[in-house]
Structures are given as C-alpha cells and as structure tokens.
C-alpha cells in the first residue's frame, strides 16, 4: 500500500496514429530516479510514446500512469524536450530570455518577468552550468551549448520526469558526451527520472540504468545485457540482428550494416530533420546532404 508509485507505468498500452498501430499491448514500469535510454529504429515510436506520456497522443487501449496518476495534458511534473527544435540557431534572443520565455508563459520581454520567474530561471541555469552562457544570443552558441539551455528550460518548475527526445542529434561525439554527463549529473542531483531517446547506444552506456528498446510495435525494457542481445533485437527489428562488442562499445548489426548508426546522421543541427511531418522516414539521410540549417520552417 505505501509503496511509492512507479515513475511511469504502462499496462497493456496500445498507441495508434492515423489508423496505424505504433505500439501494441505494451506493459512496463520505470522507477523513480532511473535513467532510461529509449532506442529503436526510425519510426519505432519513441517520439509517439513520449507524446502519449504527455497526454498529446491518446491511448487506444490500456492504461498509462505517471507517478501513479493517469496521464493528462499539461502535467507540470513532466519536463519535455521535443525532437524538433527548429530555428534556434538563427535567433538573436539572449539565452536568458529564451529560458525566461518558457518560464513566463511565453511572455516576451524580460522587463515584465516577475522576481519569482527570474529566481526560477537563475535556478535552472545554475543547475546546468549555463549562467554565463545565457548572457549570449542563441545564434552565437554551439549546438551543445544551446542544448544546455534547452535542458534548463525543461527543468523549469521542478519536474519529476524528464522526456528528452534525441538530445544528441547532430552533436559531435565530444558534445554528445557532455550532454549525457550533464543530464546524468542533474538527474542524480535532483533525483528525477529520465527518458532519453537516442539512435546510438554507445554514448549512453555509462549513464543508463536500463534500456527501453522499441521496434515492431513492441518494447523491451531491461539492462543492456538483457536487452541488447541477438534474440531480443532480432524480434524488435523483425530480422536477424547481430550484437558485437568491441572495446566496451556495442554495435548492433544487420548483416554488415550497423543499424543504429545510419538513422539520423544527417539531420540538421536543430534536429528538424527529414523524418518528420508526414511520416516519410528514410534510413539514410544522404539524399539531402546540404540543406541543413537554412530553411527554418516552424
């Protein structure tokens, strides 16, 4: 009775979009304070799952609870970093004001921010070590630095669960490591639960408690050793998969192709890549090598 509720609990959940089943009869639970890496091929349903947790995609069946409570839109205990982060790189707005806009119900212009808002913005900037960075305009920050401010935004209001959708997209390995370490540190400091989706397992290996791997409408949740195996992944990919371990790194292979790697390599630096808006997913981004960064649409 007095057991603390799961941070997240899915019981026989089915998610459908436009008549297609994305997840079918999926059950698992995640405990408070866990860092869970969410993996799976393009279109597996990582984003859809996060949106369902936020109450933005209705469940077609089953029950979905956050902190013991059925999902509802506008749940203040969840912080969300969407996968599509368009147009940030072109904006002259100062980092501080960018974070403050989210704190203040998107009211523009900091002169109107209340003392409480400023205090909250200072708090989250401090948490992610971006107090200095935030003095500069977004357009003058690196992708990794902007990511830091996006994380600060997610932490406004003190959420218990963070949903971070592909925070590593388009960052170089150094910045990837920095973002993972930052999220891990903040997560431990605050004792919050994190779902962190990614296309590659390796950058997350040192941070993860468990992996949630989606594919083929189903999900596998467990430790890396439990989930990143030939039989489990072959079931999730619906084709024979090999798992190779080299120097502490793990490679998920289909034949001689590394399956995880190729998915999102060419998304542009804001993460508004080509696999969204109409569901045209393609595994290899090389059809659009140089159109990144200039046509900010949203």
Ligand X SMILES: Nc1ncnc2c1ncn2[C@@H]1O[C@H](COP(=O)(O)OP(=O)(O)OP(=O)(O)O)[C@@H](O)[C@H]1O
Write out the residues near ligand X by the rule CB under 6 A: 17-18, 22, 40, 42-48, 83, 263, 275, 279, 281
Closest distance to Mg ion from the beta carbon of 268 (Å) = 15
Closest distance to ligand X from the beta carbon of 68 (Å) = 25
Residue of this chain nearest to ligand X (CB atom):
279
* 26: β partners: 13
Q: Where are the beta strands (DSSP E) in 113-192?
A: 161-164
Closest distance to ligand X from the beta carbon of 216 (Å) = 12
Residue of this chain nearest to Mg ion (CB atom):
47
Among the listed residues 253, 216, 254, the one whose alpha carbon sits nearest the alpha carbon of residue 235: 216
Query: Contact, 21 vs 28, CB < 8 A?
Result: no
Closest distance to ligand X from the beta carbon of 173 (Å) = 19
- Residue number, 163 or 180, with CB nearest to ligand X: 163
Closest distance to Mg ion from the beta carbon of 61 (Å) = 22
- Residue number, 133 or 219, with CB nearest to Mg ion: 219
Closest distance to Mg ion from the beta carbon of 82 (Å) = 9
Binding partner of residue 59 among ligand X, Mg ion, none, CB cut-off 5 to 8 Å per kind:
none
DSSP characters for 15-44? EEETTEEEEEEEEEEE-TT-EEEEE-STTS
- Residue number, 44 or 133, with CB nearest to ligand X: 44
What is the largest distance, in Å, between two alpha-carbon atoms of the chain? Answer: 59
Binding partner of residue 147 among ligand X, Mg ion, none, CB cut-off 5 to 8 Å per kind:
none
Query: Contact, 184 vs 191, CB < 8 A?
Result: no
Closest distance to Mg ion from the beta carbon of 24 (Å) = 18
Q: What residues make contact with Mg ion under the rule CB under 5 A?
A: 46-47, 83
- Residue number, 84 or 131, with CB nearest to ligand X: 84
Distance (Å, whole) CA 233 – CA 246: 18
- Residue number, 119 or 288, with CB nearest to Mg ion: 288
Closest distance to Mg ion from the beta carbon of 95 (Å) = 25
Among the listed residues 234, 252, 294, 292, the one whose alpha carbon sits nearest the alpha carbon of residue 268: 292
For residue 141, the number of C-alpha atoms closer than 13 Å in the C-beta half-sphere is 29
* 205: β partners: none
- Residue number, 123 or 262, with CB nearest to ligand X: 262
Spatial neighbors of 220 by CB under 8 A, at least 6 apart, are: 211, 212, 213, 226, 227, 232, 235, 236
Q: How far is CA 134 from CA 85, 97, 182, in A?
A: 18, 8, 16
Binding partner of residue 22 among Mg ion, ligand X, none, CB cut-off 5 to 8 Å per kind:
ligand X
Distance (Å, whole) CA 29 – CA 174: 32
Binding partner of residue 75 among Mg ion, ligand X, none, CB cut-off 5 to 8 Å per kind:
none
Binding partner of residue 44 among ligand X, Mg ion, none, CB cut-off 5 to 8 Å per kind:
ligand X
Binding partner of residue 298 among ligand X, Mg ion, none, CB cut-off 5 to 8 Å per kind:
none
- Residue number, 238 or 277, with CB nearest to Mg ion: 277
**Chain centroid offset of residue 257 CA:** 25
- Residue number, 51 or 160, with CB nearest to ligand X: 51
Distance (Å, whole) CA 39 – CA 199: 6
């Amino acid at each position: 009775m007095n057991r603390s509720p799961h941070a997240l609990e899915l019981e026989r959940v089915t998610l459908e979009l436009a008549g297609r089943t994305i997840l079918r009869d999926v059950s698992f639970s995640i405990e408070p304070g866990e860092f869970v890496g969410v993996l799976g091929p393009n279109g597996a349903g990582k984003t859809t799952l996060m949106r369902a947790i936020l109450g933005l995609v209705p469940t077609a069946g089953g029950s979905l609870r956050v902190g013991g409570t059925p999902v509802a839109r506008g749940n203040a205990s969840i912080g969300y970093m969407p996968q599509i982060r368009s147009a940030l790189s072109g904006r002259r707005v100062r980092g501080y004001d960018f974070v403050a806009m989210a704190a203040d119900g998107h009211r523009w212009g900091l002169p109107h921010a209340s003392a409480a808002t400023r205090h909250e913005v200072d708090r989250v900037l401090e948490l992610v070590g971006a107090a200095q960075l935030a003095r500069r305009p977004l357009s003058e920050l690196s992708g990794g630095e902007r990511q830091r401010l996006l994380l600060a935004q997610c932490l406004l209001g003190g959420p218990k669960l963070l949903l971070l959708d592909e925070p590593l997209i388009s960052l170089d390995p150094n910045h990837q490591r920095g973002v993972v370490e930052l999220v891990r540190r903040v997560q431990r400091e605050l004792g919050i639960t994190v779902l962190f989706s990614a296309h590659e397992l390796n950058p997350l290996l040192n941070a993860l408690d468990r992996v949630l791997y989606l594919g083929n409408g189903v999900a596998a949740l467990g430790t890396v050793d439990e989930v990143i195996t030939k039989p489990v992944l072959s079931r999730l990919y619906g084709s024979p998969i090999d798992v190779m371990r080299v120097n502490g790194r793990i490679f998920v292979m289909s034949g001689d192709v590394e399956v995880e790697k190729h998915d999102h390599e060419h998304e542009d630096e804001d993460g508004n890549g080509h696999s969204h808006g109409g569901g045209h997913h393609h595994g290899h981004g090389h059809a659009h090598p140089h159109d990144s960064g200039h046509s900010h649409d949203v």
